[in-house]
Structure 1
């Protein structure tokens, strides 16, 4: 990884925040993507255009994978690839909430090696580089030390508690919380505010890539719902759910999940 990759991502995130904050979420033009893929706003597209121009000019040999750019097989031949969600939490943005994020990562041979999650309206800049730890606003962050699932706050949407995901049909006891941005959920696990997070539906790489490195560099474990380590820049850029947390909580969650539960193939 070039030594300047992380600093490049930080500069890109700062510029992305400047652009997105020029829009008032509820007043930004909004469209629904085909096939129920969710909303997109003019702010998403403006941020994506800037990021694509800036990052690809700075690293012309890197591949490109973004939620708001038509995908191309060309990225599969690249040693390194940018994995981008211009605005993670678009619904939240469009509703006027401050809880949305720019998620920007570089993956090398399928492993994320530099990452930024930036919430400009909350003034939170999460950063990580392989082997260099994770930080928020320049201060190191560390995964929670909580050891008992039943007394720990876990970030998860309500559908994750449906019985078909769990052995015996009953999810384990924990205190459920929620944040609309997947990237932000992973950042809040990395900084120790929440003990773990899980999303058991197929998940797009651009929602997860930056948070994957943050969690790992903060001392946590992050896998798909089957327990496999996450790999990025796949031909079909979707992951089989995500479970992230410290070792005891991750172990307890994985033991409770039904390995025969629905995954990508059954989605």
Structure 2
């Protein structure tokens, strides 16, 4: 497959995300369904954005594979060297509630590694972008993850479940403040701009929720792994990770404190 400059891919992702925003913001009362197996809501806007993205991105890069929350998975993607990984609307519940805390999350992976990413929050006028080796940016300005290493001064983004004693060694929960945001992609971006210090998800996490945000965070100097400290990989046969631990400098402090981590706690 001919090489593609990651910056060209990024320009394509940004243009597609902006078009997605026009579609999503144009709905007033979209029809809503429940996904099977308690998979959460999906609405007309999710499907309309997904269809546009697949058509536009596929036409521009016909040799790229496709993985999206709202498209039935197909094994052909596993043969692709490069692949789009897309969450048409990350934070559908927030979108349906009229909140501004939802995003379009788009990424390109090459041989399992994210090379270009954008996360757009149209209702907040926030555009996060990154290319592999090219740094991370918010609305065109460079961003950097938090250098905080003291849990007592830090805030962790995550659900209440993340602060349950059974998820920490010896049942000892670090003295972290906790906050929550609906869209996983945005949580990772908030870490990238040092608005928060760490993020934890315990449950299995879909690739489309974290693909774009993980590159933006890593290019901002942060780290995202699964909850056991393993590197995140993408375009896997089963596209999930074993939870996610992410952060700036605090990532390496929290990792050995997690009950799921094979790393010994610091002495």
Counterparts of 2:126 and 2:260 in 1: how far apart (Å)? 36
151, 161, 168: which one pairs with 1:149?
151
1:56 Cα deviation after fit: 0.3
Who is 1:30 aligned against? Answer: 32
**1:46 corresponding residue in structure 2:** 48
Report the TM-score when normalising by structure 2.
0.95
Q: CA offset at residue 98 of structure 1? A: 0.7
Distance apart, 1:260 and its partner CA: 6.7
Deviations 1:73-94 (CA, angstroms, capped at 9, x unpaired): 0000000000000000000101
Equivalent residue for 1:118? Answer: 120
Q: Secondary structure at the match of 1:65?
A: strand
* Corresponding residue number in structure 2 for 1:87: 89
- C-alpha deviations, 1:37-60, integer Å up to 9, x for none? 110010000000000000000000
1:163 deviates by 2.1
TM-superposed CA distance for 1:197, in Å, is 0.9
1:98-146 deviation line (CA, Å, top 9, x unaligned): 1000000000000000000000000000000011000011011100121
Which structure 1 segments of 5+ residues have no match?
262-267
Match of 1:135 in 2: 137
Runs of 4+ in 1 over 4 A off after TM superposition: none
Q: Secondary structure at the match of 1:122?
A: coil
Specify the alignment match of 1:9 in structure 2: 13
Report the Cα offset of residue 156 of structure 1.
1.0
Partner of 1:200: 202
Computed over aligned residues only, the root mean square deviation of the Cα atoms, in angstroms, reads: 1.1
Inter-partner Cα distance in structure 2 for 1:238 and 1:259: 16
Q: For residues 259 and 116 of structure 1, what CA distance do their matches in structure 2 show?
A: 30
Task: Give the Cα–Cα distance (whole angstroms) in 1 for the partners of residues 237 and 87 of structure 2.
Answer: 17
**Number of the residue aligned with 1:265:** none
Partner-residue secondary structure (3-state), 2:84? strand
Quote the Cα distance in structure 2 between the aligned partners of 1:173 and 1:118.
32
Deviation larger for 163-172 or 193-202: 163-172
Indicate the residue corresponding to 1:227 in structure 2. Answer: 229
Aligned partners of 1:259, 1:31: CA distance in 2, in Å?
A: 34
SS at match of 1:121: coil
Aligned-pair distance for 1:202? 0.4
Q: Which moved more, 1:115-124 or 1:150-159?
A: 150-159
The residue aligned with 2:265 is none
Among 70, 75, 86, which residue is 1:73 paired with? 75
Segments of 5+ residues of structure 2 without an aligned counterpart are 263-267
Superposed CA deviations along residues 128-171 of structure 1, whole A, max 9, x for unmatched, are 00110000110111001212111111111101112221111132
Shifted more, 166-175 versus 64-73: the winner is 166-175
